[in-house]
Structure 1
Amino acid sequence: MTAGCSSGRRYAVRNEEGRVSKRPGCVWCGIDGGKGHHWAAVVDETGTTVWSKKIDNDESAILTALGEILDLADEVRWAVDISGTPSALLLALLAAHGQQAVYVPGRTVNRMAGAYRGEAKTDARDAYVIAETARHRRDLATIGVPVQLAADLTLLTSHRTDLVADRVRLINRLRDVLTGIFPALERDSGRRTGNLHRPKRYSRRLRRVFYLSAQTSIIREGPNRDFYLKKRGEGLKHVQAIIALARRRASVLWALLRDNRVFTFLPPATQTA
């Protein structure tokens, strides 16, 4: 018998090629925590590993893994073997996305590992054992994330969003300065005879900035989260919805630069003939 999920049903969904595939209703994610990195393993209701990767103990890496795992099933049950400082960022990010984790003590992991002989002790194996323990047991304690920690994380992510916006403004100012000194650069800067257009060449680093800023913007209530939820409701996976949001935010920024105006929640007044 499995624990934690309301049901073990599978739902038929269509992949990008239009083929019908079986999506599990619930999966269990076990995380072997560490200071520098974590290892996460995801199992379905049969105990089969469906996802297993090393995750750097970094916000962007954790958010990327979080998105991939949430796309695996309709419900994800999380379990960790460390509830202290090494997993503080991980637990705070889970809480910010409405996810909770249970605590699997190290002694329990060691006892359960005896049932899975034949493999050497590795981070991947420990993560699998943690996931399997969470799948079978119902008596594991839920880890509560302090309200202050979640609030601090929200403040930090908001500050990071501001820094990203400052970076974008700095890049635009730098572009204007460079094209003023060397007008030939206008071929690549997106400016022709005073009009802005979307350039064919782009910065991959800047594209990643837009992706990460879109990912952090959905934590707080507002138009960014509303747009993300709308795309999820249209059937897009987490990563696809984030990319759509990043493109939308880039389009809005481009329009602001084109029209030389500042952002407002209300649409600009249209000029009547």
Structure 2
Amino acid sequence: MAPPARPEIVIGLDVGKSSHWACVVTREGELLASKPVLNRENAIDGLYAQYPGALVVVDQVRNIGSLALSRARLAGMPRAYLPGLAAHGASRLFAGDAKTDERDAMVIAKTALGIPDALLPVADRPP
């Protein structure tokens, strides 16, 4: 499923082994949430249930990002990947230079909104 050009809501996930940092923003750039989410099905599903139809964007598609992507797929949500090089370049467009999970998730979400051409589609894999 290809991500929409201008989604209503984007969930940017800076993925990690035990938890992810989620930044949820609207098309207009309003911050709806910025919080850690455990890397467990029920926690991820709970986040997605709050924002049905949102575009889910991750910074890693394999291993630690795979559960977040597979749960989004099962929820029928569009998914995309922001490659590390694009995320690094985009991070220069935002205030601050500290590398934190919270800031990285914000960069992922806001880059998805402002520079959608930086995103790559996520290939569907058999369950």
Higher strand share: 2
Q: Give the whole-Å Cα distance in 2 for the aligned partners of 1:145 and 1:32.
A: 20
The RMSD of aligned alpha carbons is: 1.7
Q: Which residue does 1:123 correspond to in 2? A: 101
State which of 17, 42, 64 in structure 1 corresponds to 2:46. 64
Query: Contact between 2:9 and 2:51, CA under 8 Å: does it hold in 1?
Result: no
Show the counterpart of 1:146: 125
Question: Post-superposition shift, 1:67?
Answer: 1.2
Asked if 2 retains the 8 angstrom alpha-carbon contact of 1:100 and 1:142, the reply is no
Q: C-alpha displacement at 1:45, in angstroms? A: 2.0
Q: For the residues of structure 2 that align with 1:35 and 1:4, how far apart are their CA atoms?
A: 30
Find the counterpart in structure 2 of residue 112 from structure 1. Answer: 90
1:62 deviation in Å? Answer: 0.9
Q: Which residue is 2:5 aligned to? A: 4
| CA drift at 1:84 | 0.5
Question: Which amino acid counterpart does residue 40 of structure 1 have in structure 2?
Answer: A
Q: CA deviation at 1:117?
A: 2.2
Which of 22, 37, 48 is matched with 1:40 structurally?
22
1:5 CA drift (Å) = 2.8
Bigger helix fraction: 1
TM superposition shift of 1:50 = 1.2
Contact 2:27–2:113 (8 Å) recurs in 1: yes
In the superposition, the TM-score normalised over structure 1's length comes to: 0.43
1:32: how far off? 0.5
Aligned AA (1:121)? K
1:134 aligns with 2:116: no
Consecutive unaligned residues of structure 1, counting only runs of 5 or more, are 7-25, 151-273
Misfit runs of 4+, over 6 Å? none
- Return the TM-score normalized by structure 2: 0.87
Which ranges in structure 2 are unaligned for 5 or more consecutive residues? none
C-alpha distance in 2 between matches for 1:61 and 1:42: 15
Residue 13 (structure 2) pairs with residue 31 (structure 1): yes
Larger-gyration structure (1/2): 1
1:119 shift after superposition? 5.4
